[in-house]
Amino acid sequence: MPTAGTEFRSYYRRETTPVVTWLACSLAGAFLLQFLASLTWPAATTRLAGELSFSINGLAGGRIWTLCTHWLVHSTTNLFHIGLVLAGVVLLGRELVIVLGSRRLAVVFGAGVLAGATAWAAFNWREDAGLYGATAGVYALGTVYALLFPNREFNILVLFLFPVAVRARQVAAALLLLEVIALVVCDILEHAIPFSYAPAAHLGGAVAGWVYYQFFHEFVWHHAPRGDSVTPQTASAGAADSAPASANRPTSASRQSPRDLRVETDRILD
């Protein structure tokens, strides 16, 4: 007979896969199609990538859809970029979806993409250039992750030799500092760098993640369809349904605030 703990884990497993898998497969599939097409029809592929990328000229020409398509386009000559984006979506997404649920995670990612495009346009409105890539969405997820789990530790290899333990908040602070420096150098002082980079978009995504955490994370989405969003409260309720009747009596734990539940979830995940 399944226990409440088993049902709890099963409930999470049913809800954690779809949105993260969908985002990762969309990014990987779009890149694969773009890469294969570039080998056969390079000129047409370049033109299509330009049509899907976000730009000021495109926006002025009525290509509003590029706000929603530019995140699927990536450079076919820079595998490192798409690799980092996919790693960020999968590694951050599989942890965040347990706390946020599928619906909120998708909203945070989408808000990061849109905020990134808006911030990029604010600093590059005079440039005849384009924005592509989903890094802004990953920055939104990363910011929420650092705010939810600031003390989560990671081991990184410095120069691939020396292991160093760092916390999530330290990684986020270091990345944001680098992005601010890059913003000053690239977008404000307008110094050229040898590779394509969009610090304004990345910072816009981070701001979107911060705004979500500060103003919307504690808000309960009462009208979300069943199975669309998972929160610690709903998951606990799903586990309680299979427990004996005596276990369903109100306790102090059932009256915990969302913040206390999030801390408890972080403790369990650690």
Q: Facing residues of 54 across strands?
A: 131
Kindly state whether residue 83 falls inside one of the protein's structural domains: yes
252 secondary structure, DSSP code = S
pLDDT number for residue 179: 97
pLDDT number for residue 129: 84
Cα–Cα distance between 19 and 90 in angstroms, integer? 10
Look up tokens 């199609």; give the residue. Answer: 33
Kindly state whether residue 13 falls inside one of the protein's structural domains: yes
Kindly state whether residue 169 falls inside one of the protein's structural domains: no
Residues of the chain with pLDDT under 50: 1-16, 222-255
| Contact status, residue 27 vs residue 134, Cβ threshold 8 Å | yes
Cα–Cα distance between 89 and 240 in angstroms, integer? 31
Residues 62-83 have pLDDT tens digits of: 899 999 999 999 999 889 999 9
Kindly state whether residue 250 falls inside one of the protein's structural domains: no
pLDDT number for residue 2: 44
CATH code where residue 83 lies: 1.20.1540.10
- Residues comprising the chain, all counted: 270
Kindly state whether residue 99 falls inside one of the protein's structural domains: yes
Kindly state whether residue 57 falls inside one of the protein's structural domains: yes
**pTM summary value:** 0.76
HSE of 97 in the Cβ direction (CA atoms, 13 Å)? 25
Q: The domain containing residue 123 runs over which residues?
A: 4-146+198-215
pLDDT number for residue 232: 45
Domain total of the chain? 1
Cα–Cα distance between 130 and 120 in angstroms, integer? 10
Give the angle 27-154-23 at the CA atoms, nearest 5°.
Answer: 15
Give the angle 148-120-91 at the CA atoms, nearest 5°.
Answer: 35
pLDDT number for residue 269: 55
Cα-Cα end-to-end distance for the chain? 28
Kindly state whether residue 19 falls inside one of the protein's structural domains: yes
pLDDT number for residue 241: 36
Give the angle 167-169-171 at the CA atoms, nearest 5°.
Answer: 70
Cα–Cα distance between 85 and 107 in angstroms, integer? 17
pLDDT number for residue 229: 44
- Percentage of residues in the chain with pLDDT exceeding 90? 53
Kindly state whether residue 30 falls inside one of the protein's structural domains: yes
pLDDT number for residue 196: 81
What are the helix (H) ranges across the chain?
Answer: 4-40, 42-52, 56-60, 66-69, 79-100, 102-124, 135-148, 168-182, 199-215, 232-240, 258-269
Residue 80 CB partners (closer than 8 Å, separation 6+): none
pLDDT number for residue 260: 62
Backbone angles phi, psi at 163, to 5 degrees: -75, 135
| Contact status, residue 74 vs residue 85, Cβ threshold 8 Å | yes
